[in-house]
Structure 1
Amino acid sequence: MTGEVIFDPLLPLPLIWALAVLAAGIVGFALWRGLAGWWLRGLAAMAVLAALANPSLQTELRTPLSDIVVLVVDESASQRLSDRPEQTARAVERVRAEVAALDDTELRILRLGDGEGDEGTLLMTALSEALAEVPRARLAGAILLTDGQLHDLERAPALPAPLHALLTGRKDDWDRRLLVQNAPAFAILGEEVTLTLKIEDQGAVPKAMGDTTSVTVSIDGGAAQSYRVPVGQTLDVPVVLDHAGQNVIQFSVAAEEGELTERNNAAVVQINGVRDRLRVLLVSGEPHPGERTWRNLLKSDSSVDLVHFTILRPPDKHDGVPVSELSLIAFPTRELFLDKIDEFDLIIFDRYKRRGILPSIYFDNVRNYVEKGGALLIAAGPDFAGAESIYRSPLADILPAEPSARVIEQGYRPEITDLGRRHPVTEGLKAEAGGAWGRWFRLIDLLPKQGEVVMSGIDDRPLLVLDRVGEGRVALLASDHAWLWSRGFEGGGPQLELLRRLAHWMMKEPELEEEALSATAEGQVMTIIRRSLSQEPRSVEIARPDGGTDRLDLVETAPGRFGATYEGPEMGLYRLTDGTLETVIALGPAAPREFEQTIADGARLEGPVSATRGGIVALSDGMPDLRRVREGRTAHGRGWLGITPRAAYLTSDVTIRPLAPAWVFLLLAALLSLGGWLREGRR
């Protein structure tokens, strides 16, 4: 219980001060006149003024409150390295015991995990949240149990009590990390792109470590190549992308004995491969209505460089026109089919037949071109079934079907086969407004030898056959009536989409691969897609960044498409395999922000800690004691950290009593005035 005198004036305070000045003037005048009772009159005036000030005695019933010490425990990813979890656990128990030994002091613990995404360690944010729940008047101190690596220093709160830091880690800790300093988001296929890497060492690097280390590079989880590179220097790595779409390039540094973690020994770069120009050679055997359709389709794409030749005057044509008067351009057969054939991405023979223009050696060169990775599309016309068929050439070895010498000319609607419903080239092709496709009126009868029949015509005869030959691809379209769809005959059909997909499949675009395993990520959730022409149940094995594995069953969501979603428990590089195909995907960076700096260091905490006269202590030097220090004094020393007692309390009851009744002041004033009058009367 405490007591103090308070005043509750009966008149406005300015008026009381005015009366006080007036009383002082009267007393001063009495003193000047030499009146013997001037001091008695002054005391009487003070009694009146005291009565007007209304002095009271206020007593409070106070309940003492305990001091609070806040302990923020950093349990982020970097705090799980080496023996830091054991260090942290021991330090928490020691702090708990030290606080328990102090009278009227309690401990509040807040544990901090990894931030969302790649935010890193939000240590100061956690401290601010903890202090928001603690009355400032009771805060005796705050302790951060961390490795000193935080990523929100600008959010450090102002504290009325000392802030201390207990650092985990060891003095001989060291680590090596791989850093990608420059990587483009896009690159042109076949052209060299340069990535800038750097390998740096941190901490107490052993003297036995050399100046070079081994770095392995792999693209899309393929075979890795190893190189010796210098440590501590920037390194330019030339990379050439070999396929369009997303290319995942992984760099990894050989792990060394004794380093803190291998999580930052790898880096993943995702580069989107794009084609600069698509070079297409279109050879039309003769003018026909579908020739313009092919030309318009290919010329409508600004990224296509089209070389188109139509054979109007074959060598066997004898019309008597002198050669000097012909305005036709000579067909540069040697230049196209010998010298520059490898420069084309796609070769199309549109209703072409053998007329002696291209000798067998040229067709043999086309076959070699396909086997080495080229693409060939045959749009067959009636001549494909005859004696002059292009099939009667070295191309027969790579074509997926043989003509039966029969040409069927009757109306039919192209259909997608059961296999075609699973193949990405024809999957999901639909007619406009849900109607039926328009009819075609010619079909070259084929006898399939190999490949995949994805579209059929009359009586389920093959219409579109796809095949892989060596490293290249071949497509055979057994009709020259696709142009009817472009004219909208009987409602037309998806000619543009079909031919676009067909061209992209032949260009090996990843999204049109019929056997593919892919994954996309949104935050920490990855969507896994397995495309396959078979109907067998599918599952994938997922290798996590921490070395563990998970197995996930895939569900068929559409014909030929199996999928599932998986939420990654942490950021990093994940490897997926179904036993046949493999792929990699990075959820966030391969080495998250937590692993950019792994060596325990209190340098970043010096500012907020020194501002409160606190201290930074490494746990490897021993756990300090806790003791009380007065406010404003240095709160740390050798082997100890200080907290400031706050002496906070809770007022449970307040009582106010007047010092004396008003009539007592009036009686005292009257007696003093009477005494002054009597004293002056005697004189």
Structure 2
Amino acid sequence: MTGTVLFDPLLPWPILAVVTALAMAGVVLALIRGLNGWALRGMAALVVLAALAGPSLQQEDRAPLTDIVILAEDQSASQRLNDRSDQTTSAADTIAAALTARENTELRRITVPDGEEDAGTRLMNTLSDALAEEPRARIAGLIALSDGRVHDADLPLDLPAPLHLLLSGRETDWDRRLLVKNAPAFAIIGEPVTLTLRIEDMGAVPAGTGLAPLDISVDGAPPQRFNVEVGEDIELPLSLPHGGRNVIQFTVPEADGELTDRNNTALIQMNGVRDRLRVLLVSGEPHAGGRTWRNLLKSDSSVDLVHFTILRPPEKQDGVPVGELSLIAFPTRELFLEKIDDFDLIIFDRYKRRGILPALYLDNVARYIRDGGAVLVAAGPDFASADSLYRSPLGSVMPAQPSARVLEEAYRPTVSELGQKHPVTTGLPEAGDWGRWLRQIEVDAQAGNVVMEGVDGRPLLILDRVEEGRVALLASDHAWLWNRGYEGGGPQLELLRRLAHWMMKEPELEEEALTATATGQSMRIERRTLSDTVPPVVITDPSGNVVELEMTEAGPGRFEALHEGPEIGLYRLQNGDAETVIGLGPAAPKEFEATIATGDVLAQRVESTRGGVLRLEEGTPRIRTVREGRPAAGRGWIGITPRGAYETQDVRQMGLLPPWLVLLLASGFIIGAWLREGRR
């Protein structure tokens, strides 16, 4: 029980101060005038002023509350290295037993798990949640058992008691890690991009570790090994072999005695893009759709277009001297012999043999296709004539043979059943609700895939692969009608864009492809195919474990599957003849970026609360009681600060000057002063 004197004045304090000043002035005046009763008058004034101040005695019945100590045990991934987990558990049990045995002390034991989405060790966030559930006035201490690798140390948190860090790990620990300092998301195919790598040794590094082996693998291929300097930046020029995603894996083999090899690997996923696409467009003669291809290709800033239109064939004899012609001579030899391999795509728009391109040149174009080039033929009536490109050396690579018939009738282009699965024609806008075309060249498809049909289901667009290259045949020269909005038009630009990019082997338009996209530890596997069914996808994880997963149809020509990867690293996927690789998660999670135990990360937070950092390998510290504001740690011991918190169970108030007593005292002093002065 405690007692406290409280004041509840009957008058405001400023007025009471004025009354006090007046009373004191009267007492002083009586003293100056020599009145014998001045002291009694002063006592009477004091009694009246005390009564006006309203003094009362407050008594409380208090029940003392226990002090609370929070014990945070780090159970993140880095704590599972070496014997850290055993160290931490043993020390936590010992400290918990010591705190439980103390009088007037309660223990709150909490754990710090792995952070979500590779967030690392969130110790301060965990302490913040624990403090939010407890009265701050009862917190006597916070003890964290961890390796000190905390990733939210800068979280603003007001700690009400000393914070102590008890470090797990050994002073003899050492580790090696691989860092990739710059890794662009995109790179130009065939052009070197420079990556900066660094191999670092941390902790008590043994002697003789100046060189380390480095293995480099692209898309899961057998790695190449190099010996590099430790502790120095390595400038590595790298050229991407193909478009789309390229997965590059860098690995440093595990050395004897290092803590872990989880930070010895770096997975880089870079998209290969073309710098400039070089396209050669050869228009056989001017026609209404002659600018269609030119406008399409010129609208793409990444395309370098070389366009020639044959306005004056060799057989034309009009008597005009050659020196007076303003036309540019067609550089046939330079384009079709010397520099043909510099082009990514060659388009023949209504071209027919006129003697401009000798058979030798066209035979070189056929060779260009077989070696990996791409040729698109937009056929007009010329393709059905005796001067057709089919009746040249290019005929050996053409996917269809003309019948010599030109169908001059209106029809609506449609996507074939196979075309609904092909990336070039699947999902075209407003499919089937297109304007009609007015001409089609009758051809007999002999190879490739018919993805669009015309008059009476005849082949209209045929796509074919010839050895390493690709050929496309569009059996009509009326695609431009869509561009003019004839009968509502159609997706001309989208179709021709897809067609050109398929021929230039853009990965997203491959009809037979296996791809995967990662979100955290999950991967979405997609198989594009022209087949009706696909076998199960075979997944090989970084540890070599194999899983077979059935794929479900997600749309025409598309099959999908979802897989949750059990670990981070490089996964190999195989579905029939299609293969790919994908990396899940960072190669070195945040928990393993730096693994050597240290108190430097939390040093400032610990010092601000006058706590301490001690190593568990030197023994579990003793627990002492220290006063608030004093150093709370020393050699072999840590301190907690008793808070003296209590709970008030009952409160009683009693006036110190009841009215009758005030009246009795004041009147007694006044009468006494009057009698003393009157007797004089």
TM-score by length of 2: 0.88
- Could you tell me which of 542, 550, 554 is aligned with 1:557? 554
- Give the Å deviation of 1:197: 2.0
Question: Are 1:435 and 2:433 an aligned pair?
Answer: yes
Q: Secondary structure at the match of 1:279?
A: strand
In structure 1, stretches of 5+ residues that fail to align are none
Change (3 A) 1:363 1:38: same
- Give the Å deviation of 1:163: 1.0
Change (3 A) 1:12 1:328: closer
Q: Secondary structure at the match of 1:90?
A: helix
- Aligned pairs for 1:445-456 (under 5 A) are 445-448=443-446, 450-456=447-453
Distance in structure 1 (CA, Å) of the matches to 2:29 and 2:320: 147
Q: Deviations over 1:307-353 (max 9, x none)?
A: 23344554455666655555543332221121111111111223334
Change (3 A) 1:132 1:545: farther
Distance in structure 1 (CA, Å) of the matches to 2:546 and 2:71: 35
State which drifts further: 21-30 or 225-234: 21-30
State which drifts further: 111-120 or 337-346: 111-120
- Give the Å deviation of 1:575: 5.2
Distance in structure 2 (CA, Å) of the matches to 1:672 and 1:148: 74
Distance in structure 1 (CA, Å) of the matches to 2:420 and 2:178: 45
User: Does structure 2 retain, via aligned residues, the 8 Å contact 1:443–1:457?
Assistant: no
State which drifts further: 501-510 or 80-89: 80-89
| Equivalent residue, structure 2, for 1:505 | 502
Change (3 A) 1:451 1:277: same
- Aligned pairs for 1:213-612 (under 5 A) are 213-218=213-218, 220-222=219-221, 224-315=223-314, 323-324=322-323, 326-385=325-384, 388-403=387-402, 408=407, 410-431=409-430, 435-448=433-446, 450-521=447-518, 526-537=523-534, 539-540=536-537, 552-565=549-562, 576-578=573-575, 580-585=577-582, 589-612=586-609
Change (3 A) 1:349 1:5: closer
Q: Secondary structure at the match of 1:603?
A: coil
State which drifts further: 200-209 or 57-66: 200-209
Distance in structure 2 (CA, Å) of the matches to 1:497 and 1:51: 97
Change (3 A) 1:154 1:325: closer
Change (3 A) 1:468 1:413: same
Equivalenced residue count is 680
| Equivalent residue, structure 2, for 1:640 | 637
Change (3 A) 1:295 1:14: closer
Q: Deviations over 1:267-291 (max 9, x none)?
A: 3444444333222122334444444
Distance in structure 2 (CA, Å) of the matches to 1:445 and 1:48: 124
| Equivalent residue, structure 1, for 2:137 | 137
Distance in structure 1 (CA, Å) of the matches to 2:322 and 2:663: 143
Q: Secondary structure at the match of 2:237?
A: strand
Distance in structure 2 (CA, Å) of the matches to 1:94 and 1:311: 93
Change (3 A) 1:172 1:544: farther
| Equivalent residue, structure 1, for 2:202 | 202
User: Does structure 2 retain, via aligned residues, the 8 Å contact 1:348–1:377?
Assistant: yes
Q: Deviations over 1:114-135 (max 9, x none)?
A: 4454544333233233223322
- Give the Å deviation of 1:234: 1.4
Q: Deviations over 1:526-561 (max 9, x none)?
A: 543321111224554556678877665433221011
Change (3 A) 1:56 1:352: closer
State which drifts further: 356-365 or 492-501: 356-365
Change (3 A) 1:362 1:102: same
User: Does structure 1 retain, via aligned residues, the 8 Å contact 2:627–2:641?
Assistant: yes
Q: Secondary structure at the match of 1:89?
A: helix
Percent identity for Structure 1 against Structure 2 = 63
Q: Secondary structure at the match of 1:95?
A: helix
Change (3 A) 1:665 1:482: closer
- Give the Å deviation of 1:186: 3.6
Distance in structure 2 (CA, Å) of the matches to 1:224 and 1:368: 34
| Equivalent residue, structure 2, for 1:111 | 111
One-letter amino acid of the counterpart of residue 67, structure 1: D
Distance in structure 1 (CA, Å) of the matches to 2:545 and 2:113: 20
User: Does structure 2 retain, via aligned residues, the 8 Å contact 1:624–1:641?
Assistant: yes
Distance in structure 1 (CA, Å) of the matches to 2:651 and 2:399: 101
Distance in structure 1 (CA, Å) of the matches to 2:385 and 2:4: 121
One-letter amino acid of the counterpart of residue 494, structure 1: P
One-letter amino acid of the counterpart of residue 267, structure 1: A
One-letter amino acid of the counterpart of residue 441, structure 1: R
| Equivalent residue, structure 2, for 1:181 | 181
Q: Secondary structure at the match of 2:154?
A: helix
Q: Secondary structure at the match of 2:128?
A: helix
- Give the Å deviation of 1:426: 1.2
One-letter amino acid of the counterpart of residue 464, structure 2: D
Q: Deviations over 1:375-401 (max 9, x none)?
A: 112233445455544334443443333
| Equivalent residue, structure 1, for 2:169 | 169
One-letter amino acid of the counterpart of residue 501, structure 1: R
Change (3 A) 1:347 1:22: closer
Change (3 A) 1:45 1:378: closer
Distance in structure 2 (CA, Å) of the matches to 1:132 and 1:237: 50
Change (3 A) 1:583 1:498: same
User: Does structure 2 retain, via aligned residues, the 8 Å contact 1:431–1:437?
Assistant: no
User: Does structure 2 retain, via aligned residues, the 8 Å contact 1:277–1:304?
Assistant: yes
CA-based RMSD of the aligned residues comes to 3.5
State which drifts further: 194-203 or 598-607: 194-203
Distance in structure 1 (CA, Å) of the matches to 2:317 and 2:12: 130
User: Does structure 1 retain, via aligned residues, the 8 Å contact 2:383–2:441?
Assistant: no
Distance in structure 2 (CA, Å) of the matches to 1:608 and 1:429: 61
- Give the Å deviation of 1:362: 2.3
| Equivalent residue, structure 1, for 2:146 | 146
Distance in structure 2 (CA, Å) of the matches to 1:682 and 1:486: 130
Change (3 A) 1:508 1:37: same
User: Does structure 1 retain, via aligned residues, the 8 Å contact 2:416–2:451?
Assistant: yes
Distance in structure 2 (CA, Å) of the matches to 1:166 and 1:184: 40
- Give the Å deviation of 1:370: 1.9
Q: Deviations over 1:214-254 (max 9, x none)?
A: 13142x44554443332211122222234444444443333
Q: Secondary structure at the match of 2:588?
A: coil
- Could you tell me which of 647, 652, 664 is aligned with 1:650? 647
User: Does structure 1 retain, via aligned residues, the 8 Å contact 2:402–2:441?
Assistant: no
Distance in structure 2 (CA, Å) of the matches to 1:463 and 1:682: 140
User: Does structure 2 retain, via aligned residues, the 8 Å contact 1:58–1:654?
Assistant: yes
Q: Secondary structure at the match of 2:263?
A: helix
Change (3 A) 1:86 1:370: farther
State which drifts further: 374-383 or 536-545: 536-545
User: Does structure 1 retain, via aligned residues, the 8 Å contact 2:412–2:437?
Assistant: yes
One-letter amino acid of the counterpart of residue 605, structure 2: P
- Give the Å deviation of 1:415: 2.9
Distance in structure 2 (CA, Å) of the matches to 1:310 and 1:45: 121
